[in-house]
Amino acid sequence: MGDFSEGLASVRIGDYWGFVNETGAVVIEPRFTHAASFSNGLARISFKSPEYGYIAHSGVIVIQPQFAFAESFSEEVAVVAANIQGPYWFIHKNGTPAFPEKFALASSFVKGLAHVKLFSSNRDESDPSSGRYAYIERTGKTVFRYDR
């Protein structure tokens, strides 16, 4: 069983995950192979790996499973990628890109900022310990950059 968030917790019944409320009543029937806690009104789910999407509290799919990588929503956006190696980008709760930029690596927003690794033509993008990094605002605007 997952942690309660927004009044619901993910729970595994048999081979599938669903959601229960605080009284233990099943409110979203188990049908997912993966279910994360609700955050910003949506929960990350999957019917089969590695395709993640998002559902609302009602259990209705809001964003169809399509991402090989997906984080929970934080500050109204989520980090996603079509391929586990990237590129990564941010989406709104309706599934549209939050801004056009894509990144070699990206973390969720915390207190208005997200840490990202920028693409660089003269560096090895597969090495997470080196390269050009930045902190960005929710508009995608760079606050500052640095090299490692």
Please give the span between the terminal C-alpha atoms of the chain, in angstroms, as a whole number. Answer: 40
Q: Whole-angstrom Cα distance, residue 12 to residue 92?
A: 28
Tokens representing 64 are 């169809």
Q: How far is CA 8 from CA 15, 16, 43, 62, 94, in A?
A: 19, 16, 10, 17, 21
What pLDDT score does 49 carry?
73
pLDDT digits (tens, 9 = 90+) for 101-118: 999 999 999 999 999 999
The pTM assigned to this predicted structure is 0.90
**Fold of the 1-67 domain:** Thrombin, subunit H (2.40.10)
Res 63 pLDDT > 80 = yes
Secondary structure class of 9 (helix, strand, coil): strand
At 32, the pLDDT band (50, 70, 90 cuts) reads: very high
At 59, the pLDDT band (50, 70, 90 cuts) reads: very high
Task: Please identify which residue in the block is written with the tokens 């089969």.
Answer: 48
What pLDDT score does 114 carry?
98
Secondary structure class of 144 (helix, strand, coil): strand
Higher pLDDT, 124 or 83: 83
Res 28 pLDDT > 70 = yes
Q: What is the mean pLDDT of residues 127-147?
A: 89
- How far does CA 14 lie from the centroid of its chain? 25
> Domain locations in the chain?
1-67, 69-148
Question: Quick count: other Cβ atoms within 10 Å of Cβ 113?
Answer: 16
At 11, the pLDDT band (50, 70, 90 cuts) reads: very high
Res 125 pLDDT > 80 = no
What percent of the chain is predicted at pLDDT more than 70?
94
